[in-house]
Amino acid sequence: MTAIRLGALYAGAVFLAGFALGTLRTLVIAPRAGDLIAVGIELPVILGVSWVVFGGLARGRAAWPLPAKWRVGLVAFIVLIALELVLSAVIADGGVRGFVANWLTLPGALGLAGQLAFALIPLVHPAGRN
């Protein structure tokens, strides 16, 4: 499996899980606890899901060099952001500006940090180590 395909599959699977968790966060947790606490609750769960998903996709494959791991993470990050941008455009007002402006809030910045951590998982996960 190429790094590009693995990164796209990884992002797609985590996006689906994130959609379910994000719905729960938005409709159930945030109204009761606030956006920041809701993101703080969701973040370790989705990173755990990301760890498991990547491990499942990469397990049993031959070890690959560091540049390939970087490509997987970069592709996964780009695909994830693109999917989230499309979803945001469909369900929220503000378009690209609103999507990016959200990163300037504390909950949005925490979410972006989580997305960056998601992209780094291929570099640190034991699956595919040399």
> pLDDT tens-digit profile of 60-104?
777 778 888 999 999 999 999 999 999 888 887 778 888 888 999
CB atoms within 10 A of CB 30: 19
Q: What is the pLDDT of residue 23?
A: 93
Residue 129 inside a domain? The answer is: no
Residue 130 inside a domain? The answer is: no
Domain total of the chain: 1
In this prediction the pTM is 0.91
Cα distances (Å, whole numbers) of residue 68 to 56, 92, 110: 17, 35, 27
CA 2/CA 29 separation, integer angstroms: 38
CA 70/CA 119 separation, integer angstroms: 9
Q: Is residue 46 very low, low, confident or very high in pLDDT (cuts 50, 70, 90)? A: very high
Model pLDDT for residues 14-45, shown as the tens digit of each residue: 999 999 999 999 999 999 999 999 999 999 99
Q: Which amino acid is at 94?
A: G
Residue 103 inside a domain? The answer is: yes
Tell me the residue range of the domain where 36 lies.
3-124
Residue 17 inside a domain? The answer is: yes
CA 22/CA 5 separation, integer angstroms: 25
Residue 99 inside a domain? The answer is: yes
